[in-house]
Structure 1
Amino acid sequence: MAQSQEPIDVTNEPQRDSINKNLLLKSIGNGYFPTKYFNFDLRYLVKYNHYEGIRTGLGGVTNHTFSEKFRFNTYAVYGFRDHRFKYSFGGGIRLAQKTNTWLNATYTDDLQETGSTRYITDSRVFQFFEPRLLNIDLFHKHITTAVAIEHQIAPHLLSEAEFAVSNIEPTYSYNYLLNDTSYHSFNITTGIVGFQWSPFSKFEPTPIGMRETKSGFPKFSFQYTKSFKNAFKGDFDFSKFDFKVIEKIGQNPNHYGQITLVTGMAIGDAPLTHLYHAYPNNITKEKILQRFTVAGLNSFETMYFNEFFSDKFATIQFRYFLPPFQISDKLKPQLVLISRYAIGDMDNPERHDNITFSSLKHGFTESGFEFNKLLFGFGLSFTYRYGAYHLPNISDNVAFKFTFNVSF
């Protein structure tokens, strides 16, 4: 039986300050700076990518002091290279407290990376520094109106359904050829149903619903997307099936293995914006040091941006975290061994005009290591590309980058 906690002595000023500081750090670690009624979203402060240059703005969401039944969220950012504002606003109403059921609506005018997949049930992941974002150059504009309902079916099973209408325009020279028609900009109307199952995690009820208190593995995510032609002027008819599982091997938080399997398939008339790119993270430069950027968390470091696209693909990544080297109380670098594999293909590549890419049907392989937290959270990584897509020039197969890891 769990023991009851001792009451906090609010007259103890140092203890109270310590608790407030820990709560603040935890909130910042989740990506928010809290105020009385509104929590500022730190994701929107400063970012950088090749298309927008510096991207900066403000955003946030109302908190439970404002209301436990309603919430409002918004953000506005500006790109200094494309000279364009992007924004989103929306809100939600809680339908049921016990199952944490919310009905949400949003309107968004922003960019999205072409070939990326968004799992609508994914927990919020916040990083002060998003590694891949620095190198991405293939975006499409989208103006999206969406209505969604999120529902906790059971403590271990989260679901969400979304209906969205989007107007999409690639920021690059691209046309989708279908039935003697060439589309540069187009409308897509989608219905999405997603599930996330965490059978070995632990959850506790809170005033705002169930919350995960201990992360257990494996974790499973499944998502089905259906695009409806002619519904709200939708131009294409296609379906997508996406699946992801994350497994952790070992109980020691500093010494374990992690396996991530991701698969996806698009069936029908899907433009490049809604296909798959396998998360590359290598820029096209001649020399190794010219490609010295920052390594991603789950990206292929030797795969060049826009090198491969697929309408069906699978990736598997293995990371093995060795025990940290105890150099001092503050200096504890950690060696991580890495191996990645991707395979995929595309049925109708001729439909995608004004863009050149290859197939992944022969299988892409890379392996290497990271030496993390060498100094102030920074480290180094080395990855080598081999197998069917090994390049003739040896140096083109090498990715030498730095890493950045900060935890709260």
Structure 2
Amino acid sequence: MKHSLLAFIFLISIQALAQTKVSGVVNDEFGDPVAFANVIFKDSNEGTITNEDGRFYLESSDSYSAIWVSFVGYELKNIELTARVTYDLSVVLKEEASSLDEVVVYSGKTSKKDNPALVILRKIWENRRENGVKKFDQYEYDKYEKLEFDLNTIDSGLIKSKVFKGMEFVWEQIDTSKITGNSYLPIFINEAYSKVYGDNLLNEEKEILEGNKNSGFENNQTLIAFIKDLYKEYDVYDNYMKFFDKAFTSPLSKTGIDVYNYVLLDSAFRDNKWCYNIVYYPRRKNELTFKGDFWVNDTTWAIKEINLQASKSANLNWVREVYIEQEFDVLNDSIFLITRDYFLSDFSLKKKEGARGIYGKRTTLYDNYQFDRVKDKKFYSEQTDPYAYEIYNRPDDFWEQRRMESLSKDEKGVYKMLDTLKTIPRFKSLYNIAATLASGYYEVGNFDIGPVFSVFGFNEAEGLRIRLGGRTYFSQNDPWRLEVFGAYGFRDERFKYGVSGKWLLDRKSRLTVFGGNRKDVEQTGASLTTSNDVLGRSLASSSLITVGANDKLSRINLSTAGFSMEPAKNLKFQLTGSYRTLESATETFSLDYFDQNGEIQSEISQPEIEFAVFYTPRRKTSGYGVERTIINDGDFPSFYLGYTYGLKDVLGGDFEYNKLQALYTQPWNIGGLGRLWSTIEVGKIYDPVPLGLLSPIPGNQTLFSIYNAFTNLDFYEFVTDSYASLHLQHNFGGRIFSRVPLLRKLDLREVVGFRAAYGTISDENIALNAPNGLLMQAPEDIYWEWSVGVGNIFRVFRLDFNFRGNYLGNPDARKFGVTGVFGFSF
């Protein structure tokens, strides 16, 4: 992953003149800013609208001598331009006496009655599913996509910074944004050309990448995929448009009337089609909404042009600006097909206008539409290899023929600039520092040392723990990988270790063999769905601060070997053989049980065979090596089904048993109400087994909020051989707090949670485990708890208040607890 998001993290932490540029602020006669006023070059269709503060920036490659500034209820203002570049204009609009009635209807919060804009909006709703490629049974088209990163808000302080000593030549590529007016330096460009095929009858679509070219960092497919996932494909006709894991209300949404004001501003011919121009802007602040305008045809009620700019008050982290433009063309005099899609994001640690940041820009062009050319269903299910060598090494004439939009002079210069930059030692040093912070590993040749964030730990068994490990790393597409670690506990004075290897034998089926051995301390009651991951280790066993005595830890010696394969995309079958020994790691915790002779045993020796099925529809990954990076983590459902057979008298195995487990987790975007995460787990062990092989309901004795664990339960408070659990967590994204004036500016987010578990334990298991002295209680009355939380504190922290619902009479039951979690989210 080190050649993926690290480039993005590094860049965010650190002029070619157009013919006409103008910026300024628009106020009324009382000095108040006029938001969403129209500013256009005189006698043209090139324009913009002011933001909430009345500010605007407008740029054109043509020469103009004047601008028009207008808004409903105000006199049209003509401003003469005396120079090619005119900044900081102060424009004052006067109210129009004859239009005062209109001002009552349309300024501020517009009326929902007798508003002609809403009549047109309802026509759009009625016809929105009857246009574009959805009008045909089958479709195909060519697609050209350009992704670009720019370092923005360039000033003399940055240019003279010691950070760029020896790299001053990069400033030769400085340009100015036509959207924001800020100066910027292009630093990364990626071009991709694809063929897209779709079948509306089969509900299938397939995109075949035919060419990819980039400047910047090598092996950056993950970075590209990450940015493309941020800029997901969207449809302005949908009720909600998802960006940065947030659901923005579309101005064409059927619920838009409740969150937007609409104004019918103009009507005119657009490419020989009579269209209406509607301006829209938010009714309230802090909601995930846009401002802008669109042109809609008067017969098909299809959108001809639309621009969307996210409200600056939207509850969105690290993103200062979002701007979208879409253009549509007419086919057969009635069908509108998208031809251009432009998306700009301004990423910054601060929302202040003068703060530095990174522009992320995506331009997508569509051409050569073909319809009703049938392809077999097998065509859509066949997997293609998007990482073939020739795709990433197309000659220049390939791009000259297929680019639907020529690169600018500055964009062409980026390729040369970054090739030079990568040869400078100082840049290499900065890049290596960023690589370590992003990946958690420090590179030494083809071996990575780390993870650096797990060097120190603490638990009741080991006391202070030091861990050092590493992995082989030649590239993100390595066909094999070896990982090792060593650890030492100063309290138990024991050395621990782990070694694991995996090898991808076949890329098409992803046939992989793996194996390893680990000798370590583990919290075996930290999850219901067990894992045979050799190098996996629970956070619960290494927390520096715990609630109560977390002494229920085990010593484990685990060896595994197996193989996996993917016969279809995101469907994986895995067969694993394992052998483990378990014993208590502390004097205050016992795993004792009766053997078949009635004698007490304190160590478990157990071989197992597990067959598992993993299905993750809609999951997106990057890379084709033995390990791939998930680029849309938390955005797809996940299914797991596992069967485990315990072997007795094989390799000294103590028990024969059968176990079934299943897990289903699903994230849900609930429109403007936020995002819900849900998880259901069920399982059953069909034969008597000792405590170390049973299924404890996972507790949480740390001060961290851990999803899929029960915050107010101690470890082993409930133990089961049959169980079912439910976890729900909903983030409202600030929808409630945004309506509270004193909280609105804090951009806080409301989080609620509910957790429940049901389980049983047989009399045979209670009798078998009698010697360990543990109260073998199962939640047959359904244990439950709930929580409320405040998220986005300082944009990186969430605080949860957790309440226990029942079983309040259990010894040392925790009725209430406070936990927190750090995390990066938009």
Native 8 Å contact 2:510 2:565 kept in 1: yes
Tell me what 1:226 maps to. 645
Q: Please say if 1:269 is aligned against 2:677.
A: no
1:193 to partner: Cα distance: 1.7
Instruction: Tell me the secondary structure at the aligned position of residue 3 of structure 1.
Output: strand
TM-score (norm 1): 0.83
Tell me what 1:346 maps to. 761
1:52 to partner: Cα distance: 2.0
Of 219-228 and 353-362, the range deviating more from structure 2: 353-362
Cα distance in structure 2, aligned partners of 1:96 and 1:294: 40
Cα distance in structure 2, aligned partners of 1:312 and 1:23: 49
Point out the structure with the larger helix share.
Answer: 2
Cα distance in structure 1, aligned partners of 2:476 and 2:145: 33
Native 8 Å contact 1:131 1:294 kept in 2: no
Q: Please say if 1:70 is aligned against 2:480.
A: yes
Cα distance in structure 2, aligned partners of 1:25 and 1:138: 39
Tell me what 1:93 maps to. 503
Instruction: Tell me the secondary structure at the aligned position of residue 381 of structure 1.
Output: strand
Native 8 Å contact 1:91 1:105 kept in 2: yes
Native 8 Å contact 2:638 2:665 kept in 1: yes
Q: How many residues align?
A: 395
1:66 to partner: Cα distance: 11
1:233 to partner: Cα distance: 1.0
Instruction: Tell me the secondary structure at the aligned position of residue 233 of structure 1.
Output: coil
Of 145, 160, 185, the residue aligned with 1:3 is 145
Q: Please say if 1:256 is aligned against 2:675.
A: yes
1:273 to partner: Cα distance: 1.1
Query: Unpaired runs of 5+ in structure 2?
Result: 1-142, 147-189, 192-213, 216-414
Q: Please say if 1:163 is aligned against 2:577.
A: yes
Deviations 1:92-144 (A, max 9, x none): 3331122332212212111222334565599x9999xx467424421221222
CA spacing shift, 1:262–1:30, aligned 2, 3 Å: farther
Instruction: Tell me the secondary structure at the aligned position of residue 707 of structure 2.
Output: coil
User: What amino acid does structure 1 have at the position aligned with 2:816?
Assistant: V
Instruction: Tell me the secondary structure at the aligned position of residue 214 of structure 1.
Output: coil
Of 199, 223, 227, the residue aligned with 2:617 is 199
Native 8 Å contact 1:99 1:209 kept in 2: no
Of 172, 186, 189, the residue aligned with 2:604 is 186
User: What amino acid does structure 2 have at the position aligned with 1:86?
Assistant: K
Tell me what 1:281 maps to. 700
User: What amino acid does structure 2 have at the position aligned with 1:154?
Assistant: A
Deviations 1:344-396 (A, max 9, x none): 01112122122322221111011111223424734422111124x13399994
1:258 to partner: Cα distance: 0.8
Deviations 1:266-292 (A, max 9, x none): 121321112122211148xxxxxxxxx
User: What amino acid does structure 2 have at the position aligned with 1:338?
Assistant: G
Of 785, 808, 812, the residue aligned with 1:390 is 808
Of 580, 592, 609, the residue aligned with 1:175 is 592
CA spacing shift, 1:73–1:207, aligned 2, 3 Å: closer
Tell me what 2:467 maps to. 57
Residue pairs, 1:5-404, within 5 angstroms: 5-6=190-191, 7-8=214-215, 9=415, 11-12=417-418, 31-42=440-451, 44-65=454-475, 68-115=478-525, 116-117=527-528, 119-120=530-531, 130=539, 133-134=542-543, 135=546, 136-171=550-585, 172-179=589-596, 180-203=598-621, 206-208=624-626, 212-215=630-633, 216-250=635-669, 255-282=674-701, 293-324=703-734, 332-347=747-762, 348-352=765-769, 353-357=771-775, 358-375=777-794, 377-387=796-806, 389-391=807-809, 396-404=814-822
Of 247-256 and 34-43, the range deviating more from structure 2: 247-256
User: What amino acid does structure 1 have at the position aligned with 2:750?
Assistant: L
Instruction: Tell me the secondary structure at the aligned position of residue 206 of structure 1.
Output: coil
Native 8 Å contact 1:61 1:73 kept in 2: yes
CA spacing shift, 1:77–1:394, aligned 2, 3 Å: closer
Cα distance in structure 2, aligned partners of 1:108 and 1:313: 28
1:342 to partner: Cα distance: 0.6
CA spacing shift, 1:238–1:32, aligned 2, 3 Å: farther
Native 8 Å contact 2:697 2:717 kept in 1: no
Deviations 1:291-331 (A, max 9, x none): xx333233211112321111111110110002146899x96
Cα distance in structure 2, aligned partners of 1:117 and 1:393: 23
1:197 to partner: Cα distance: 0.5
Native 8 Å contact 2:541 2:553 kept in 1: no
CA spacing shift, 1:161–1:183, aligned 2, 3 Å: same
1:212 to partner: Cα distance: 3.9
User: What amino acid does structure 2 have at the position aligned with 1:175?
Assistant: D
RMSD of Structure 2 on Structure 1 (CA): 3.7
Instruction: Tell me the secondary structure at the aligned position of residue 78 of structure 1.
Output: strand
Tell me what 1:288 maps to. none
Instruction: Tell me the secondary structure at the aligned position of residue 711 of structure 2.
Output: strand
TM-score (norm 2): 0.43
Of 62-71 and 302-311, the range deviating more from structure 2: 62-71
Native 8 Å contact 2:685 2:721 kept in 1: yes
Cα distance in structure 1, aligned partners of 2:821 and 2:448: 29
User: What amino acid does structure 1 have at the position aligned with 2:804?
Assistant: R
Native 8 Å contact 1:280 1:304 kept in 2: yes
Tell me what 1:290 maps to. none
Instruction: Tell me the secondary structure at the aligned position of residue 565 of structure 2.
Output: strand
Native 8 Å contact 1:34 1:40 kept in 2: yes
Deviations 1:194-231 (A, max 9, x none): 22101122346635576544344321112221110011
CA spacing shift, 1:298–1:111, aligned 2, 3 Å: same
Native 8 Å contact 2:593 2:772 kept in 1: no
Native 8 Å contact 2:579 2:607 kept in 1: yes
CA spacing shift, 1:364–1:378, aligned 2, 3 Å: same
Native 8 Å contact 1:37 1:66 kept in 2: no
Of 274-283 and 334-343, the range deviating more from structure 2: 274-283
Work out which structure has the larger RCO, using CA pairs closer than 8 Å and 6 or more positions apart in sequence. 1
Native 8 Å contact 1:257 1:319 kept in 2: yes
Native 8 Å contact 2:583 2:591 kept in 1: no
CA spacing shift, 1:213–1:67, aligned 2, 3 Å: closer
Cα distance in structure 1, aligned partners of 2:652 and 2:416: 60
Native 8 Å contact 2:720 2:759 kept in 1: yes
CA spacing shift, 1:298–1:26, aligned 2, 3 Å: farther
Point out the structure with the larger strand share.
Answer: 1
Cα distance in structure 2, aligned partners of 1:394 and 1:69: 51
Cα distance in structure 2, aligned partners of 1:62 and 1:192: 28
Instruction: Tell me the secondary structure at the aligned position of residue 264 of structure 1.
Output: strand
User: What amino acid does structure 2 have at the position aligned with 1:340?
Assistant: R
Cα distance in structure 1, aligned partners of 2:610 and 2:637: 23
Instruction: Tell me the secondary structure at the aligned position of residue 692 of structure 2.
Output: helix
